[in-house]
Amino acid sequence: MLGICGAQGSGKSTLASALAARLAARAIPCAILSLDDLYRTRAERQAMARQVHPLFATRGVPGTHDVDLGLATIAALRRGESVALPRFDKARDDRAPSGQWPVMRARVLIFEGWCLGLEPQSEEALTEPVNALERNEDPHGIWRKAVNTALAGPYRALWATLDSLIFLAAPDFETVRIWRREQEEQLRARMAGDASPRGAGSAAGPMPGLMDQTALARFMAHYERLTRHALATLPARADLTLPLDRQRNLTR
């Protein structure tokens, strides 16, 4: 179980694919699982939004993942079984049908996610909001306290499955905002190309699953607190920290 942690756009998927290719070249069965693929269904998150706090309608933070599904998947792989690896469809903002999940057996599982290995914050750290989203939509701290409780509970069992952890450390959260915007632009261009009869369509007009700049800024605000927490704490906890500059080059 190799964990790769890093903020959005830091290169987790790229590194995971490169490592998997190296292992495949050595005939070592390998699989990749993303924390994103463990998101609860859209209906489950909407239920959380009604019952716990409206901000849980947006995927991303601890509490919006099906930890039990992740633990069961990892346990089956450890037993040497062929396992259907969960997949999440971000364009639909919902879990992909189980019939579309790839069935694999692996000696090595590369598990990548934006908050892998993260410990909960102190109660004092939760007091002050870190951005307008928390200040205006979570004034009493109900959402961020629920997120922190999830980190202190079920997610610790998920992190405990890791044999080692690599942390891709972004320079700062402002860089993460830029990287995530680049991801959205790349997705827009790809979807526009797929929609064109010649594969080179225009990105004009709304596309399902894509966010404009206002929506993207609000989406990123959900991640800000724990991304900053990870940058401050994970270098001391990870087995290997790879510090990056704004172009994603290693600084050492």
Q: What is the pLDDT of residues 100-153, one digit of tens each?
A: 999 999 999 999 999 999 999 999 999 999 999 999 999 999 999 999 999 999
- What is the pTM for the complete model shown? 0.89
Count CA atoms closer than 13 A to 235's CA, side-chain side: 9
Asked whether residue 248 is domain-assigned, the answer is no
* Residue 209's pLDDT band (cuts 50, 70, 90): low
- Asked if the model's pLDDT at residue 197 lies above 70, the reply is no
Tell me the average pLDDT across 46-64: 96
Query: What Å distances lie between residue 175 and 130, 213, 224, CA to CA?
Result: 17, 16, 12
pLDDT value of position 204: 40
Asked whether residue 249 is domain-assigned, the answer is no
In the chain, the number of structural domains is 1
| Max CA pair span of the chain | 56
Asked whether residue 236 is domain-assigned, the answer is yes
Asked whether residue 252 is domain-assigned, the answer is no
The packing angle between helices 213-233 and 173-195, to 10°, is 140
pLDDT value of position 125: 97
What is the residue-averaged pLDDT of the chain?
92
Q: Is 3 helix (H, G, I), strand (E, B) or coil?
A: strand
Q: Regarding predicted confidence, which is higher, 204 or 180?
A: 180
Q: Which residues contact 112 (CB under 8 A, 6 or more apart)?
A: 3, 4, 5, 6, 12, 13, 15, 16, 32, 33, 34, 35
Report percent pLDDT > 90 for the chain: 84
Tell me the average pLDDT across 233-238: 97
pLDDT value of position 13: 94
Q: What's the CATH number where 64 sits?
A: 3.40.50.300
Residue ranges making up the domain that contains 145? 2-243
DSSP H or E stretch at residue 16? helix 12-25
DSSP letters along 163-220, please? SEEEEEE-S-HHHHHHHHHHHHHHHHHHHHHHHSTTS-----S--TT---HHHHHHHH
Asked whether residue 250 is domain-assigned, the answer is no
pLDDT value of position 130: 97
**Is 63:138 a contact under the CB 8 Å cutoff?**
no
Asked whether residue 52 is domain-assigned, the answer is yes
Q: Distance between CA 209 and CA 198 in Å, rounded?
A: 22
